[in-house]
Structure 1
């Protein structure tokens, strides 16, 4: 029996990146299909989020995400460029967001083809793994190819159907909220949300209770 789960994911979320490879490994080893459900990050959904956070929040987050990466042996570096265009000094989010909109729509196009999990991991390794100018050259084309996808085809879909893809991305967010959470990464299995990269083992434990077996 193959189980199924949904993974709600943001390409701007460092913790989503720190979870995606481990979920990909789980889906490779065990009989579970994990469908990627991309959502736009809080910077798009709540542009004032960073301005109203405690001053220590950002410093602690940077410290923690680097140590999580080190603990799990995951390559990690600051995105170059950041998927979100943001004033570092004021934390204000720019109204024009070309990077995050393209990559999230590409992720949704990949999800339509059943390859969202793999594409998000491959693209995430570019964004958060230290690739400079990950949005240029053949970086994303190579990542898409590793996921069995054609970037040119995905980009055509993004250009032709931006509103439809955004509607699907909005539906992903609504499904996440309906499942009982709002943040990413969140895996929803059998109606139960598991939020955070530190809940992967617990999600697997729950799946094992429901008959999770190796492939």
Structure 2
């Protein structure tokens, strides 16, 4: 089906993907409502009881993944705290369409883990270089030789020795626990990778329970809440092992010398979840805001898979609920809708409304379910941003926005990030203080603002 639209400044006048976009949007909207989530959770519990299976958490450990090292430090505590069976699978890093920039991801994960570890009460020393491949193999061998409870118990000491570069400790652990042959390691990794793939995921440091995925320490609070609701918390008066981190900029306003750069795209669920909060953080703290929109990854040739898309939309909806953000009535703005809005962005900036336009578009696409490919939908976006639609129509399709967005993408990559939302905090001289990827890193930005204004706490 192809629908015709009025020509606006040279943009394409037909959109053959509109029906597909509408259908997928309706499906994604329905799948991740709290009602549907609770139905799936209840069904999983009924199936578990019917088969007389214990409550089982499956954890997927990638020894050379920084986030797995953080998660490793909580495994035994998880098993002790909750009335569950915890199993540990060994996995490799995924490659291909599910992981767009594996080398950048590895570098960023080491930097990121160092940034967040202390706030979780965990350890991750600054680690600029990749791990020694031979030590990685030895760590895999030790863990492959163990199974069941022994593997769960071995993960933390093996991971600690590996990430601290303590070769003698790895040798000691190998002598104490055993070390599998290369063929046995390959078999263990193949089993773990196959299990992860069967359950439809692709990352390390992942926890799986009852049909739902939880990524590393950052999402462990969602899992802990679910376990507590099932009555599985043996110490429900104690704080969670990995409580949710909340932004706290300290209440002392900047004089504007600090700058917060926000890299966001119009088709990013995570951008939709956190965008307004990030803007508000800059306003509240007095930090200068520099919004730097970029093209969505799929619109700049970065492939995506249904597996990855399903996880992202599920997780974004879950995060939005936790934050109390209006989200979930979805109308996919990929392609023409995004291009139309981007073409208006430079003009909106001249009107002092660039941030408001991006905010309005994200809200209409991800919370209000407005079809932004149609003029009537885009008009709602424009007018809600405080702009004149009649004037805006004259700027649809104007040149210049493509080069602006590409300039922003290059800057984002140079900062070590490639996805959105990403944040970069700059000092008064324009020197980066911290650069991080993810809507769940706004609290780190707030922490660094606080440090700059108040000093270390």
Name the TM-score, length of structure 1 as normaliser: 0.79
CA contact (8 A) 2:360 2:385 kept: yes
Distance 1:76 1:31, change over 3 A: same
Q: Which residue of 2 aligns with 1:193?
A: 435
**Secondary structure at the counterpart of residue 396 of structure 2:** helix
Task: Quote the offset at 1:46 in angstroms.
Answer: 1.8
Distance 1:116 1:194, change over 3 A: farther
Q: Which residue of 1 aligns with 2:445?
A: 203
Instruction: List aligned pairs for 1:60-99, cutoff 5 A.
Output: 60-80=311-331, 82-84=332-334, 97-99=335-337
CA deviation map 1:119-177 (0-9, x unaligned):
21122110000333244355443443443333443442333x32x22111111111111
Q: Which residue of 2 aligns with 1:89?
A: none
**Secondary structure at the counterpart of residue 288 of structure 2:** strand
**Secondary structure at the counterpart of residue 35 of structure 1:** strand
**Secondary structure at the counterpart of residue 412 of structure 2:** helix
**Secondary structure at the counterpart of residue 189 of structure 1:** strand
CA contact (8 A) 2:337 2:372 kept: no
Bigger CA drift: 203-212 or 110-119?
110-119
CA deviation map 1:27-50 (0-9, x unaligned):
332201222111111111125x12
**The one of 14, 22, 29 aligned to 2:269:** 14
Question: Gaps (5+ residues) in structure 2?
Answer: 1-254, 427-431
Q: Which residue of 1 aligns with 2:357?
A: 119
Bigger CA drift: 166-175 or 112-121?
112-121
Distance 2:347 2:375 in 1: 20
CA contact (8 A) 1:12 1:83 kept: yes
**Secondary structure at the counterpart of residue 413 of structure 2:** helix
**Secondary structure at the counterpart of residue 409 of structure 2:** helix
Distance 2:401 2:381 in 1: 20
Distance 1:182 1:41 in 2: 10
Distance 1:34 1:9 in 2: 13
Task: Quote the offset at 1:209 in angstroms.
Answer: 1.7
Distance 1:103 1:175, change over 3 A: same
CA contact (8 A) 2:348 2:357 kept: yes
**The one of 395, 400, 419 aligned to 1:157:** 395
CA contact (8 A) 2:271 2:439 kept: yes
Q: Which residue of 1 aligns with 2:411?
A: 175
CA deviation map 1:81-108 (0-9, x unaligned):
x112xxxxxxxxxxxx321211222234
Distance 1:142 1:98, change over 3 A: closer
CA RMSD of aligned residues (A): 2.2
Q: Which residue of 2 aligns with 1:4?
A: 259
Distance 1:36 1:27 in 2: 11
Distance 1:152 1:14 in 2: 29
Distance 1:172 1:152, change over 3 A: farther
Question: Gaps (5+ residues) in structure 1?
Answer: 85-96
Q: Which residue of 2 aligns with 1:59?
A: 310
Distance 1:151 1:210, change over 3 A: farther
Instruction: Please identify the structure whose Cα radius of gyration is greater.
Output: 2
Distance 1:182 1:112 in 2: 27
Distance 1:78 1:29, change over 3 A: same
**Secondary structure at the counterpart of residue 211 of structure 1:** helix
Distance 2:438 2:315 in 1: 13
Count of aligned positions: 193
Distance 2:291 2:349 in 1: 6
